[in-house]
């Protein structure tokens, strides 16, 4: 196994989270590609792949200066995600081979060389994807928590300062009288969040003038600080996603019920 910097000809695969077999990934990958290109060109975003002994891509990591992330902090590098392909489809299951550990070590080494005072990441305190407990096993400690999401960090120097989540503000755009409102806070970095965004936008268009679809670009940290959220789609102020991304049909049905109340 080896870890390499993301080559140009693998960017599309990277933006599909290595799931080039998945129709869902292909639906939301283009928005993520826009985020990746912008971040790597202007904001110091870094990305790496883990390859098995046959050169097959099995894992990935993306990280960059925390000042350009959706997290409040300074001098640190922030890990947006570490992903090791674990499905039978496509390239197969690469978990339990040490790829995640190798990717994390490579990113930390890179961040140190770039002058970072520490590394930060997020994790879920329940035993799901991006487990907070996994980061703790690798020397990270809790800095903040917001619901299920734990913010963790590993200082490299004594002068490093811990990160924190931006506080919730509950700020929303003013509703449009007589319309169903879909407000999408979207940063573009997360494939799953992009999927909810794309499906909501497509479903909203089916109802014409009865539905107002508003996108708030949260790729800039100042926008996250203002609104108190990075990625979320709200239907008349209620969170559209509570768990895995809902199907297009499920989203459309929820919008249709709201539209019916207007009559």
What does the alpha-carbon distance between residue 1 and residue 198 come to, in Å, rounded to a whole number?
35
pLDDT at 125: 84
pLDDT at 241: 84
The predicted-structure confidence for 22-47, as pLDDT tens digits, reads as follows: 999 999 999 999 999 999 999 999 99
Q: Is the pLDDT of residue 60 over 80?
A: yes
Q: What is the CATH number of domain 180-260?
A: 3.40.30.10
Distance spanning both ends of the chain, measured CA to CA: 61
pLDDT at 129: 79
The predicted-structure confidence for 138-165, as pLDDT tens digits, reads as follows: 999 999 999 899 999 999 999 999 999 9
Do the beta carbons of residue 239 and residue 193 sit within 8 Å? Answer: no
Q: Is the pLDDT of residue 64 over 80?
A: yes
Q: Is 192 left (phi over 0), alpha (psi -120 to 50) or beta?
A: alpha
Q: Is the pLDDT of residue 175 over 90?
A: no
Q: Where are the domains of the chain?
A: 2-155, 180-260
pLDDT at 225: 95
Q: Higher model confidence: residue 242 or residue 91?
A: 91
The Cα-based distances of 184 to 27, 173, 235, 237 in angstroms read 17, 11, 9, 10
Q: Is the pLDDT of residue 248 over 90?
A: yes
Mean pLDDT of 190-213: 95
The Cα-based distances of 92 to 56, 89, 100, 245 in angstroms read 10, 6, 16, 22
- The residue among 183, 249, 173, 242 whose CA lies nearest residue 212 is 183
The predicted-structure confidence for 75-90, as pLDDT tens digits, reads as follows: 999 999 999 999 989 9
The order of strands in the sheet holding 2-5 is 2-5, 46-51, 57-65, 76-84, 118-124, 149-155, 141-146
* Residue appearing with tokens 């969040």: 193
pLDDT at 139: 97
Task: Calculate the average pLDDT of the chain.
Answer: 95
The architecture CATH gives domain 2-155: 3-Layer(aba) Sandwich (3.40)
Q: Which residues contact 224 (CB under 8 A, 6 or more apart)?
A: 70, 166, 187, 218, 230
pLDDT at 204: 96
pTM: 0.94
- The residue among 113, 36, 112, 28 whose CA lies nearest residue 68 is 36
Mean pLDDT of 169-194: 93
What does the alpha-carbon distance between residue 38 and residue 17 come to, in Å, rounded to a whole number?
18
Q: Is 188 left (phi over 0), alpha (psi -120 to 50) or beta?
A: left
pLDDT at 244: 85
pLDDT at 136: 96
DSSP3 helix / strand / coil % (the chain, rounded to 5): 35, 30, 40
pLDDT at 242: 78
DSSP-based three-state secondary structure for 103 = helix
pLDDT at 84: 96
The predicted-structure confidence for 92-129, as pLDDT tens digits, reads as follows: 999 999 999 999 999 999 999 999 999 999 999 887 77
Q: Is the pLDDT of residue 68 over 80?
A: yes
Q: Is the pLDDT of residue 263 over 80?
A: no
């Amino acid at each position: 196994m080896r870890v390499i910097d993301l080559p140009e000809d693998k960017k599309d695969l990277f933006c599909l989270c290595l799931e080039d077999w998945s129709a869902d990934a292909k639906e939301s990958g283009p928005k993520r590609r826009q985020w990746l290109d912008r971040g790597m060109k202007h904001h110091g975003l870094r990305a790496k792949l883990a390859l098995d002994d046959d050169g097959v891509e099995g894992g990935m990591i993306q990280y960059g200066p925390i000042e350009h992330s959706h997290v409040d902090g300074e001098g640190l590098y922030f890990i947006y995600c570490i992903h090791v392909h674990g499905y039978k489809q496509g390239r197969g299951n690469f978990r339990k081979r040490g790829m995640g550990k190798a990717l994390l070590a490579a990113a930390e080494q890179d961040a140190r060389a770039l002058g970072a005072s520490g590394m930060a990441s997020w994790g879920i305190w329940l035993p799901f994807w991006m487990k907070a407990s996994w980061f703790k096993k690798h020397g990270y400690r809790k800095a903040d928590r917001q619901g299920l999401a734990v913010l963790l960090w590993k200082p490299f120097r004594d002068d490093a300062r811990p990160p924190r989540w931006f506080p919730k503000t509950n700020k929303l755009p003013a509703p449009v009288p007589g319309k169903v409102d879909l407000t999408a806070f979207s940063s573009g970095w997360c494939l799953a969040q992009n999927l909810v965004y794309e499906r909501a936008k497509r479903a909203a268009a089916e109802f014409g003038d009865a539905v107002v679809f508003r996108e708030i670009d949260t790729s800039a940290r100042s926008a996250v600080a203002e609104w108190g959220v990075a990625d979320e789609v709200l239907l008349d102020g209620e969170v559209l996603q509570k768990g895995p991304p809902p199907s297009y049909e499920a989203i459309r049905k929820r919008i249709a019920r709201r539209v019916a109340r207007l009559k």
